[in-house]
């Protein structure tokens, strides 16, 4: 009963070549010219092209009075209807009204970011909270537009993302269109100024931008990305740029998705691999991080930053020797980056190669004397070398850069203590405690300083440190010594048992020769503790 | 006088639902799974001895308003006094993004007061008088009843609905004031309705209220973790929604009918009346000539208003194949057919419309569907194309809401109704969809 001949033999599913700019313009011109009553047209184009189109239409259709409403900020009151009515009250003879700049009403809304770029599945759980009121206004007043402007053809010139957004958030309004016209930036304008900016500059300042500004960049980038005929290499670069914006938003999963897309398009894109590694680093995916750097280095072994990043990943995961080799490669490629030197110093420090570490820090400081980390790390190294005066000087340079750094204050206190400048040492620790009362090292260092002169005060300070962190054997041990000095042997034994419980290898020999514990030498429980037989006295 | 193509362009615009008796109306019952509002909704009202409350649902732009206006005209010939109003838009009373039950009740009140001028509005106006003080304080609007003629007092009610709609910040406050009093408003309104019924014209014995456009309510929770407003309106408040003492037809968002609340909804209101797509293809994908003819008729009836008897298949379109392709690509959705026609005319300088212009229009609309579908939804669509069924979940509801999935119905020879789903025909050619289909 069905007649197969009804099936058109023309291939309707075949995609025609996109219309030329001129073809599309003629279609738009016809639509505007033919609209007799109320009309709703959408033109997807960049603001610059929109500007040209308006001019051309106005001169081609000079018999139809036309005007332009061009927003450069949020639509007042988010009420487009009112803005249109005002304009028509002033010019009742208008037949065409071009409307530009609606996008400025949307940048403040996170919702738009979610719908126009995020791959997250959360889209289904639309709460519709925070939907831009402009969209509500359009949907809601749809019939009011029709009934109040029965002779006007409204022509909306909008960027691509706004069309996507209308589809989702003002479907009833968009549903009434008599046409959607698309004018991509001609591919020959690859040197278009805005694109040049994107592709040439490194927009590392995303992190410091206001969120709305970042959103605007994000949407612009996505529109560029969606342009037909965009060369693959450009697509890759735009994706990496998008990834950076997501990084600035701390949305590492989305950033990773962009970098991976870039890599699919341009597999030998070393920067994408490199940035993928950094994004993984933020999520703690150590193996993926290293693997990404490996790829980046295979593709481009000349990028010092990548060597440095891989070195840092290795350093952080305890592979200091391998890390140093990477830092050396980075330095060989670019000896003028203080961070490479300071990283090298830190890695050498963890291997106990303090002299070499010092040389690295000196090189770093010669390049950048304002690198706080280097002054701090150098202070630590000097302390280990027993060069306490110099360590103090180094911490003071660090504190000059960051006066609120309680760790440097604490470490300075420790160095001062070593020089027996006890009052100054305590003052330094007190400063640290005032800045951060929850920093147990400051309390512990303060206690060490007080231990000989006023054991009672030291015990109280140790108590503070233990309340914050009961896992530091040094604190238990220090307190045990203080109790022993005071002749409170049960308490001393109890604290010692905790220290031994946490680190027997270090504290058993120390206790054996500790002068504070001389009176305990014959105590059976003391001997039992040192022999590892005693019951730990967990509470006294 | 504008040239013919311009006239045709303007006569296929989608802005107005057809008025009853409009020559452009095409009877599509048999190709819409026998859906017939006059029979399905109308007969129930005409025959029932008790008041009825029915739900009416369909895709956006599928012809619901046109059908409801027809129902109104029909009921008026059957001894009914009909109050029809579009609750949203067209000087409606509500903001579709944020609708709650009280808003619907107030809108009903306003329209009943305005349309039933012969009845005594005292009970309702008294109710309003009791609320005045607290409302004026919140809304900072002047509502005055004393000293006004009855007519003037009635318009004061409109002020209230306007205030709710216009000032979102006041909306919550006004509602908070009104919510405890919706039950008393309902009984005042029923008193008013009882009087109105006594005073109906001699040839009328039933009062019917048709509430259109409620399907444009966007689901929104008042606060996170609260029940969404749709559940609140249609389920939690169903007693009140059904409580008006007259016959009622409410439109309802399609997503509500396909939610996990569907069973509860049916228990409360009976099966909703559904306006499916015009079936242009059968379940197994064959072209269905009667449906195709009906789509052509929808176009022809409009075109003939400006060019009587013009031959659609040769004079307006280049060939019958071109016209067929256009109709099939619409999936049987009327507004989509009109949109595609206008887009094709945009690419046409002179009649007839050529294959190339139609191809452009299809391509443009196809692309907008491509942009509508979210990553991750392609596989769902592919599954629908294969099984012709949908699951009761948010993802599928979303696809229905955005017309990526369309609903069809057909009465089989044995009289049983068969309902199935298909992806929008334009989606079939989208590469992402094809890939997903192959991956199944």
Nearest CB among B86, B329, B374 relative to A12 is that of: B329
Per-residue three-class SS string for A425-464: HHHHHHHHHHHCCCCHHHHHHHHHHHCCCCHHHHHHHHHH
Query: Is B6–A34 a contact, with Cβ atoms under 8 angstroms apart?
Result: yes
Tell me: the pLDDT tens digits for B246-283? 999 998 877 777 766 777 888 888 888 888 888 999 88
Query: Is A140–B96 a contact, with Cβ atoms under 8 angstroms apart?
Result: yes
Query: Is A15–B429 a contact, with Cβ atoms under 8 angstroms apart?
Result: yes
Q: Cα separation of B299 and A430, whole Å?
A: 87
- Chain A residues touching residue B14 (CB < 8 angstroms): 175-176
- Chain A residues touching residue B371 (CB < 8 angstroms): 163-164, 167
- Pick the range with the lowest mean pLDDT from A399-408, B142-151, B309-318: B142-151
- Chain B residues touching residue A143 (CB < 8 angstroms): 86, 89-92
- Chain A residues touching residue B340 (CB < 8 angstroms): none
Provide the terminal-to-terminal Cα distance of chain B, rounded to the nearest Å: 56
Q: 3-state SS of chain A: helix, strand, coil percent to 5?
A: 70, 5, 25
Is residue B26 within 8 A of residue B362, CB to CB? The reply is no
**d(CA A84, nearest CA chain B) in Å:** 17
Query: Is B89–A141 a contact, with Cβ atoms under 8 angstroms apart?
Result: yes
- Chain A residues touching residue B286 (CB < 8 angstroms): 2, 4
pLDDT of residue B117: 84
**d(CA B93, nearest CA chain A) in Å:** 10
Is residue B291 within 8 A of residue B31, CB to CB? The reply is yes
Nearest CB among A10, A119, A180 relative to B355 is that of: A10
Residue A149, both tokens: 């402007």
Q: Cα separation of B352 and A46, whole Å?
A: 33
Tell me: the pLDDT tens digits for A309-368? 999 999 988 899 999 999 999 999 999 999 999 999 999 988 989 999 999 999 999 999
Residue A350, both tokens: 């963890």
Q: Cα separation of A84 and A105, whole Å?
A: 16
- Chain A residues touching residue B359 (CB < 8 angstroms): 12, 14, 16
The DSSP bridge pattern shows strands A179-183 and A39-45 to be parallel
**Beta strand segments in A101-251, E:** 153-158, 179-183
Nearest CB among B10, B95, B346 relative to A30 is that of: B346
**d(CA A379, nearest CA chain B) in Å:** 52
Tell me: the pLDDT tens digits for A135-171? 766 766 777 788 888 889 999 999 888 888 787 777 7
Query: Is A167–B368 a contact, with Cβ atoms under 8 angstroms apart?
Result: yes
Query: Is A177–B339 a contact, with Cβ atoms under 8 angstroms apart?
Result: yes
Tell me: the pLDDT tens digits for B13-63? 877 777 777 777 887 777 777 777 788 888 888 888 888 899 998 777 777
Is residue A397 within 8 A of residue A366, CB to CB? The reply is no
Residue A204 C-alpha from the chain's centroid: 11
pLDDT of residue B2: 75
CA distances for B351 relative to A72, A216, B306, B344, angstroms? 41, 43, 14, 11
Nearest CB among A128, A142, A164 relative to B371 is that of: A164
Q: Which residue of B has its CA nearest to A164?
A: B371
pLDDT of residue A145: 82
pLDDT of B119 strictly over 50: yes
Counting beta carbons within 10 angstroms of the beta carbon of residue A406, is it exposed (0 to 12), middle (13 to 18) or buried (19 or more)? Answer: buried
Query: Is A163–B394 a contact, with Cβ atoms under 8 angstroms apart?
Result: no
**Among B14, B95, B97, the residue to mutate for chain A (most A Cβ within 10 A):** B97
Q: Which residue of B has its CA nearest to A167?
A: B372
pLDDT of A77 strictly over 80: no
Q: Cα separation of A343 and A349, whole Å?
A: 10
Query: Is B5–A136 a contact, with Cβ atoms under 8 angstroms apart?
Result: no
Residue A27, both tokens: 């279609």
Query: Is B402–A147 a contact, with Cβ atoms under 8 angstroms apart?
Result: no
pLDDT of residue A2: 39
Check residues B95 and A514 and name the one with the higher pLDDT: A514
Most confident of A354-363, B62-71, B367-376: A354-363
Query: Is B287–A167 a contact, with Cβ atoms under 8 angstroms apart?
Result: no
pLDDT of A386 strictly over 50: yes
Q: Which residue of A has its CA nearest to B59?
A: A172
Nearest CB among A14, A31, A38 relative to B346 is that of: A31
Residue B146, phi-psi category: left (phi > 0), alpha (psi -120 to 50), beta (remainder):
beta
Residue B350 C-alpha from the chain's centroid: 35
Is residue A134 within 8 A of residue A158, CB to CB? The reply is no
Average pLDDT taken over every residue of chain A = 84
Tell me: the pLDDT tens digits for A351-383? 989 999 999 999 999 999 998 889 999 999 999
pLDDT of residue B27: 79
Query: Is B360–A123 a contact, with Cβ atoms under 8 angstroms apart?
Result: no
- Chain A residues touching residue B60 (CB < 8 angstroms): 171-172, 175
Tell me: the pLDDT tens digits for B90-111? 444 555 556 678 778 888 888 8
CA distances for B174 relative to A188, B88, B91, B168, angstroms? 58, 19, 20, 10
Counting beta carbons within 10 angstroms of the beta carbon of residue A302, is it exposed (0 to 12), middle (13 to 18) or buried (19 or more)? Answer: exposed
- Chain B residues touching residue A144 (CB < 8 angstroms): 89-91
Query: Is A142–B89 a contact, with Cβ atoms under 8 angstroms apart?
Result: yes
Phi then psi for A68, rounded to 5 degrees?
-125, 130
Question: How many CB pairs below 8 Å do chains A and B form together?
Answer: 157
Helices (H) and strands (E) counted in chain B, each on its own, are 20, 7
Residue A227, both tokens: 């342009």
Q: Which residue of B has its CA nearest to A38?
A: B15
**Among A1, A7, A8, A15, the residue to mutate for chain B (most B Cβ within 10 A):** A8
Query: Is A179–B342 a contact, with Cβ atoms under 8 angstroms apart?
Result: yes
Query: Is B346–A28 a contact, with Cβ atoms under 8 angstroms apart?
Result: yes
**Among B4, B8, B10, B15, the residue to mutate for chain A (most A Cβ within 10 A):** B15
Query: Is A144–B282 a contact, with Cβ atoms under 8 angstroms apart?
Result: no
Is residue B422 within 8 A of residue B388, CB to CB? The reply is yes
- Chain A residues touching residue B287 (CB < 8 angstroms): 2-4, 6-7
**Among B165, B333, B344, B346, the residue to mutate for chain A (most A Cβ within 10 A):** B346
* ipTM over 0.90 threshold: no
Nearest to A448 by CA among A472, A435, A434, A395: A472
pLDDT of residue A129: 47
- Chain A residues touching residue B62 (CB < 8 angstroms): none
Tell me: the pLDDT tens digits for A99-142? 998 888 877 666 555 554 444 434 433 444 455 667 766 766 77
- Chain B residues touching residue A140 (CB < 8 angstroms): 88-89, 95-97
Q: Cα separation of A162 and B371, whole Å?
A: 12
Q: Which residue of A has its CA nearest to B399?
A: A124
- Chain A residues touching residue B324 (CB < 8 angstroms): 6, 8
Q: Cα separation of B303 and B308, whole Å?
A: 7
Residue showing tokens 């090298």: A344
Nearest to A123 by CA among B374, B401, B392: B374
Tell me if residue A4 falls in helix, strand or coil: helix
Q: Cα separation of A198 and A194, whole Å?
A: 7
- Chain A residues touching residue B5 (CB < 8 angstroms): 34
Radius of gyration from C-alpha coordinates of chain A: 35
Counting beta carbons within 10 angstroms of the beta carbon of residue A88, is it exposed (0 to 12), middle (13 to 18) or buried (19 or more)? Answer: middle
Q: What single DSSP character describes residue B261?
A: T
Residue A362, both tokens: 């000196």
Average pLDDT taken over every residue of chain B = 83
- Chain B residues touching residue A6 (CB < 8 angstroms): 287, 289, 292, 324
The DSSP bridge pattern shows strands B405-411 and B417-423 to be antiparallel
| Percent of residues, chain A, with pLDDT higher than 90 | 46
Nearest CB among A6, A141, A143 relative to B287 is that of: A6
Q: Cα separation of B245 and B52, whole Å?
A: 9
Radius of gyration from C-alpha coordinates of chain B: 24
Nearest CB among B90, B219, B356 relative to A143 is that of: B90
Average of per-residue pLDDT across B368-395: 86
pLDDT of B425 strictly over 90: yes
Long-range contacts of B89-93 (CB under 8 A, 24+ apart): B89/A140, B89/A141, B89/A142, B89/A143, B89/A144, B89/B213, B89/B216, B90/A143, B90/A144, B90/A147, B90/B213, B91/A143, B91/A144, B91/A147, B92/A143, B92/B213, B93/B161, B93/B162, B93/B164, B93/B165
**Among A6, A18, A163, the residue to mutate for chain B (most B Cβ within 10 A):** A6
pLDDT of B127 strictly over 60: yes
Q: What is the dihedral of CA A473, A478, A480, A485, to 10 degrees?
A: 170
């Amino acid at each position: 009963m069905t007649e197969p001949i009804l099936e058109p033999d023309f291939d309707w599913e075949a995609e025609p070549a996109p219309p030329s700019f001129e073809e599309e313009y003629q279609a738009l011109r016809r639509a505007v010219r033919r609209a007799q009553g109320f009309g709703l047209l959408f033109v997807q184009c960049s603001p610059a092209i929109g500007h040209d189109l308006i001019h051309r239409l106005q001169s081609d259709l000079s018999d139809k009075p036309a005007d332009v409403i061009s927003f450069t900020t949020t639509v007042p009151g988010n009420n487009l209807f009112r803005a249109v009515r005002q304009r028509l009250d002033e010019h009742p003879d208008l037949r065409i009204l071009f409307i530009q700049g609606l996008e400025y009403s949307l940048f403040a809304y996170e919702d738009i970011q979610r719908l126009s770029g995020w791959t997250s599945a959360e889209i289904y759980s639309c709460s519709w909270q925070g939907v831009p009121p402009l969209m509500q206004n359009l949907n809601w007043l749809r019939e009011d537009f029709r009934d109040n402007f029965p002779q006007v053809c409204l022509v909306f010139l909008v960027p691509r993302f706004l069309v996507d957004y209308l589809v989702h958030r003002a479907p009833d309004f968009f549903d009434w269109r008599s046409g959607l016209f698309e004018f991509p930036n001609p591919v020959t304008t690859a040197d278009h100024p805005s694109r040049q900016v994107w592709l040439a500059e490194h927009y590392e300042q995303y992190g410091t931008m206001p969120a709305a500004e970042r959103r605007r960049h994000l949407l612009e980038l996505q529109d560029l990305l969606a342009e037909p005929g965009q060369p693959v290499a450009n697509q890759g670069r735009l994706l990496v740029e998008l990834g950076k914006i997501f990084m600035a938003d701390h949305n590492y999963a989305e950033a990773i998705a962009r970098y991976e897309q870039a890599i699919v398009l341009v597999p030998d894109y070393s920067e994408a691999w490199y940035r993928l590694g950094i994004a993984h680093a933020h999520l703690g995916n150590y193996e993926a991080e290293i693997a990404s750097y490996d790829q980046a280095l295979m593709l481009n072994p000349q990028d010092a930053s990548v060597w440095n990043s891989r070195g840092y990943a290795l350093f952080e995961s305890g592979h200091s020797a391998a890390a140093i080799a990477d830092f050396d490669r980075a330095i060989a490629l670019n000896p003028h980056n203080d961070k490479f030197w300071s990283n090298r110093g830190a890695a050498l420090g963890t291997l106990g190669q303090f002299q070499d570490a010092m040389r690295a820090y000196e090189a770093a400081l010669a390049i950048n004397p304002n690198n706080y980390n280097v002054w701090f790390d150098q202070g630590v190294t000097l302390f280990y070398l027993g060069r306490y005066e110099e360590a103090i000087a180094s911490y003071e340079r660090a504190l000059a850069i960051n006066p609120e750094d309680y760790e440097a204050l604490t470490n300075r206190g420790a160095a001062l203590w070593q020089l027996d400048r006890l009052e100054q040492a305590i003052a330094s620790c007190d400063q640290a405690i005032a800045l951060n009362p929850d920093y147990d090292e400051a309390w512990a260092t303060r206690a060490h300083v007080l231990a000989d002169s006023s054991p009672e005060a030291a015990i109280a300070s140790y108590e503070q440190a233990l309340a914050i962190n009961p896992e530091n054997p040094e604190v238990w041990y220090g307190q045990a010594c203080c109790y022993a000095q005071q002749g409170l042997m049960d308490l001393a034994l109890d604290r010692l048992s905790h220290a031994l419980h946490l680190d027997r290898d270090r504290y058993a020999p120390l206790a054996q020769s500790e002068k504070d514990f001389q009176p305990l030498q014959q105590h059976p429980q003391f001997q039992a503790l040192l022999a590892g037989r005693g019951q730990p006295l967990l509470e006294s | 006088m504008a040239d013919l193509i311009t006239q045709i362009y303007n006569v296929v615009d989608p802005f107005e639902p057809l008025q009853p008796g409009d020559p452009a109306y095409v009877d599509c019952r048999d190709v819409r799974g026998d859906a017939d509002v006059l029979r399905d909704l109308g007969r129930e009202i005409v025959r029932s001895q008790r008041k009825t409350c029915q739900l009416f649902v369909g895709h956006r732009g599928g012809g619901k308003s046109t059908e409801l206006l027809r129902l109104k005209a029909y009921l008026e010939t059957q001894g009914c006094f009909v109050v029809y109003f579009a609750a949203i838009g067209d000087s409606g009373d509500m903001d579709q993004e944020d609708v709650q039950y009280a808003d619907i009740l107030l809108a009903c009140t306003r329209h009943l007061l305005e349309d039933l001028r012969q009845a005594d509005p005292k009970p309702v106006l008294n109710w309003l008088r009791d609320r005045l003080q607290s409302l004026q304080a919140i809304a900072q609007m002047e509502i005055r009843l004393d000293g006004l003629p009855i007519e003037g007092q009635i318009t004061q009610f409109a002020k209230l609905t306007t205030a709710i709609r216009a000032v979102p910040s006041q909306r919550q406050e006004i509602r908070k004031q009104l919510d405890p009093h919706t039950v008393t408003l309902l009984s005042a309104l029923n008193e008013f309705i009882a009087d109105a019924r006594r005073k109906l014209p001699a040839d009328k014995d039933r009062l019917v209220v048709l509430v259109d456009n409620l399907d444009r309510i966007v689901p929104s929770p008042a606060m996170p973790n609260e029940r969404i407003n749709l559940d609140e309106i249609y389920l939690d408040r169903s007693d009140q929604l059904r409580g008006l003492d007259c016959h009622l037809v409410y439109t309802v968002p399609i997503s509500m009918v396909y939610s996990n609340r569907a069973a509860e909804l049916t228990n409360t209101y009976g099966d909703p009346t559904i306006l499916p797509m015009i079936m242009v293809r059968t379940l197994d994908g064959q072209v269905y000539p009667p449906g195709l003819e009906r789509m052509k008729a929808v176009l022809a009836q409009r075109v003939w208003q400006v060019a009587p008897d013009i031959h659609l298949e040769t004079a307006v379109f280049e060939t019958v194949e071109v016209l067929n392709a256009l109709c099939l690509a619409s999936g049987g959705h009327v507004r989509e057919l009109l949109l595609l026609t206008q887009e094709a005319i945009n690419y046409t300088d002179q009649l007839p419309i050529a294959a190339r212009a139609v191809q452009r229009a299809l391509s443009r609309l196809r692309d907008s569907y491509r942009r509508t579908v979210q990553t991750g939804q392609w596989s769902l669509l592919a599954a629908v194309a294969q099984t012709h069924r949908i699951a009761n979940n948010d993802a599928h509801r979303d696809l229905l809401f955005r017309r990526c999935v369309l609903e069809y119905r057909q009465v089989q020879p044995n009289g049983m109704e068969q309902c199935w789903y298909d992806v929008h025909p334009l989606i079939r050619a989208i590469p992402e969809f094809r890939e997903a289909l192959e991956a199944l």
